Each structure stands twice: as structure tokens, then as C-alpha cells.
Structure 1
Amino acid sequence: MIIIGLTGGIGSGKSSVARYLEEEGFPIIDADRVGHELLDSPSIQDAIVALFGNEVLEEGTISREKLGMRVFADTSLRNQLNALLHPLIKEEIARWCAQQYEQGNTTVVVEAALLREEEGSDPWLSGLILVLSTEENRVARLVTKRNMSEEESRSRIKAQVDPDTKIPRADWIVYNDGDFEHLKEQTARMALALRALGNAAPPTD
């Protein structure tokens, strides 16, 4: 089975690339969405409240906005949250990949911010697509699409690993500093490459 990672910093436009790849027929799983769904689990909610306190609650449930403000302001808390959620997210991704294979889908895409953070990490990936964009364009997207302030946008960008450090570990790079048509053209070429990779892969028992 071919499992392709899709990553990029916040505001880079990786979700747009994911949407275009989905239109090309590739099954997509969004790790952020899986993480959000996990927040509905009572046991996860209890663990998060134990870490962060009741101030991350809103009407008895975890507020993603309040939680996000806490973790982006504190590296230690962010690492603790990642240690709690990431193993569970990976388990769900593994289940989803197995289901896709059973349904006959042999090439799938996993969209996640934290992929190949270090050399040798995530060996289960067959390849990695890295979406890059200038900081100014990323800030503009976050301000326009997520209603963040410029200060908050820059703070969240700086809280993540510099995407440029992943260039040596990426198999394909998408530059998202043009218009939507340019992005779609790059993604269409990417889809051709992924189909060729899938056709060349040996069958999996």
C-alpha cells in the first residue's frame, strides 16, 4: 500500500492541496480532524482538563479555541498535549488505512502538520508532499480565513517547526504563492506522479 504524507505549516494551504487530491480520486484523512473528534471522548476530555484546568472548557466541553491559545503559548503544554493525542491519532490513521486497503484503495494521503519532523521519523510513509508558502502569504490567509490577528498568526507560525527544514526529507514540494489555478496545476501533476507510483508498487499481501 502507498501511504503519502501531506504536510506544511499553518496557513500554507495544505488543506487546499488535500481537497484537490481528493477531487483527483485519492482518499484523504486529516489528522487534525481526527484529533478534534478525539476531543469528544470523555476520557480524553478528563485528561485534558487534568492538564490544562477548567478554563479550556466551554459549556462542559473542550473549547478548541481556548485549548489552542494555551498550547501555542506554552511549548511544554503543547508537547504534553501532543504526547496525549498523537499515539491515538496514529492508531486511528492505521485503522483507516487498513479499511481503505480492504476497499481496494491502494494509494492514500494522510494530511498532518507533524510528519517527518526529524530524519528517520514516520518510516511508514511511502513519500511526503511538502507545501511551502511565504510567511506573509501564510499570515494573510490566517487573517482572512481564520479571523486571526496578525500578531496571533505570526505567533502560531513561529510555534511550529520551520517547514524549510523538511525540504531534504520531502519527496515532492508544492509552492503555494500563486493563484488557485497554479496550485491546482501543481496538484494535478502530483496526482499523475502518485498514480505512477501506485502502478509501479508491488502488490501487498
Structure 2
Amino acid sequence: MSQFHSKGARTIVGVIGGIASGKSLVTQLLQKRGATVVNADSVAHEVLDDPKVIDEICAVFGGDVLRTHTVGNGVPPQIDRKKIAALVFGETEIHQGRRESLEAIVQPRIRERLQFLIQDWKAKNTCGILALDIPLLFERKWDQVCDEIWFVDTPRAHRETYAAARGWTAEQLKAREAAQLGIEEKKSRSTCLIINNGSLDDLERQVDAAFHRARFGKRAANGEGRGDVAGRA
């Protein structure tokens, strides 16, 4: 067991931010410090691989949303997430209607799985940190299960660079952002700000400080209750 799991509070932290802001990196750093991470995108991928879900999506959007190499080659069919994204992300009423149709299929299943993972963690842990990486945290009301909400604040130019590394254009980034709550509102409703505009070492120092404050409360501020963990990245 990690030395971070000594004594302290049981805390659920929601990690949010703009698209391509580095939320997953922050949750990885939390995991490195002993936190448990629940990633909604990973859960969504599991749901999209469910044969029943694939059948329902194809019934609504047609077989063109399947990955080409899985059609007629004896390979289990898979949803092409880029094709689906192109259909549902945008600012028009058509995009919104498609998005609502997709969400009606996948969201109940994603919610059920996330609820299970959160309750399972609670049942097995009397202390520690559970980090929720859920892009639509406020929109889906997951903030209601959180003790703290950390906003990863990253300059737009940086986010565009990170998005480009994923193969997204600036227009695609804008379309995805249009489907979410505004960045300033997310920031105003958060309890902790993580500034991601410098080095990895700087980000680690911020995550380390926020982790220990959430984990050990006021003791972290003056170095108490941290043992030989104090000062480590």
C-alpha cells in the first residue's frame, strides 16, 4: 500500500478544465500519489464497445459509423469515434439533435458504471482520495458527489497545441467546447485552481500541495502528518 495511504480524510475530487487542458495528466499525478482515478472517457469507451450499444447506435446513425476494417472481415464491429464526433459535435440544431440521440443511448449506461465505481471505492476505503475525470462534471451533476473540484487552468494557445497533437483542428476544438459549460463558469464553481502553463515540475508541485491539503487538511499546510512524503513530487 502506498505510504500516502496513512491517515487522513476520504475525499472525492472532481478534476475539470477546458478541453485538452491536461486534466488526464493531473489525474495521473494524483494516481502517482496514491489516489484512485475514475476516468469517464475510459468508461465511455467500454460502453461503446458493448455489442448492444453498437447495434442501437447503428440503428440510429447507420452502419457508416463503424470502423471500416471491422465491416465484413470477421472482426467484431467497432464504432468509429471520429465519425460519431463529426456527427454530434457542432453548434447547429442538427448537431444538437444527433448528440441528444447518442446520449440517450450511452449516458444511462455510463452513469450506471460510474455510480458503481464510486460506490465500490467508498465501500472499500475509509480514507484516501478518489479523483473523477469527468468532462461534463457540472452538466451531469457529478459535482454533487464531490468534496472538492479542481480546475486545470491552461492558456488557450497551449490547449490548441495539445488538441492538435490529438489530431483535432482549432474548429473541432471549438465545436467540442460548444457542447460544454463555459470555461469561466467552470472556473468560478471550482474550489481549487491548478495553473498549467509552466513546466511539469511546477505542475507537480501544485498537485502535490493540493493533494496533501485535500488528504490531510490543515496539517499539510505546515508539513504535519506527511512523514517523509514532504517535499516530494
Superposition pairs of residues 57-136 of structure 1, within 5 angstroms:
57-58=66-67, 59=70, 60-73=77-90, 74-104=95-125, 106=127, 107-117=129-139, 122-136=143-157
Of 154-163 and 109-118, deviating more is: 154-163
| Alpha-carbon distance, 1:121 to partner | 6.5
Which residue in the other structure is 1:177 paired with?
A: 197
Which residue in the other structure is 2:52 paired with?
A: 43
* Amino acid of the structure 1 residue aligned with 2:137: L
Any unmatched runs of 5+ in structure 2? Answer: 1-9, 71-76, 220-233
Count the aligned residue pairs.
196
* Amino acid of the structure 2 residue aligned with 1:113: P
| Overall identity of the aligned pairs, in % | 29
RMSD: 2.2
Q: Could you say what secondary structure the match of 1:7 adopts?
A: strand
User: TM-score w.r.t. structure 1 length?
Assistant: 0.85
Within the candidate set 159, 162, 171, 1:138 is matched to 159
* Amino acid of the structure 1 residue aligned with 2:97: S
* Amino acid of the structure 2 residue aligned with 1:116: F
User: TM-score w.r.t. structure 2 length?
Assistant: 0.76
Question: Does the aligned pair in 1 maintain the 2:151–2:193 contact within 8 Å?
Answer: yes
Q: Distance in 2 between matches of 1:139 and 1:65?
A: 18
CA change 1:105–1:45 in 2 (3 A) is: farther
Q: Confirm whether residue 8 of structure 1 aligns to residue 25 of structure 2.
A: no
| Alpha-carbon distance, 1:170 to partner | 0.8
| Alpha-carbon distance, 1:51 to partner | 2.4
Question: Does the aligned pair in 1 maintain the 2:16–2:150 contact within 8 Å?
Answer: yes
Q: Distance in 2 between matches of 1:98 and 1:123?
A: 14
Of 67-76 and 32-41, deviating more is: 67-76
* Amino acid of the structure 1 residue aligned with 2:96: T
- Which structure has the larger Rg over C-alpha atoms? 2
* Amino acid of the structure 2 residue aligned with 1:104: N
Of 31-40 and 57-66, deviating more is: 57-66
Question: Does the aligned pair in 2 maintain the 1:117–1:166 contact within 8 Å?
Answer: no
Question: Does the aligned pair in 1 maintain the 2:139–2:180 contact within 8 Å?
Answer: no
Superposition pairs of residues 23-42 of structure 1, within 5 angstroms:
23-42=32-51
Question: Does the aligned pair in 1 maintain the 2:12–2:131 contact within 8 Å?
Answer: yes
Any unmatched runs of 5+ in structure 1? Answer: 200-205
Within the candidate set 26, 39, 43, 1:17 is matched to 26
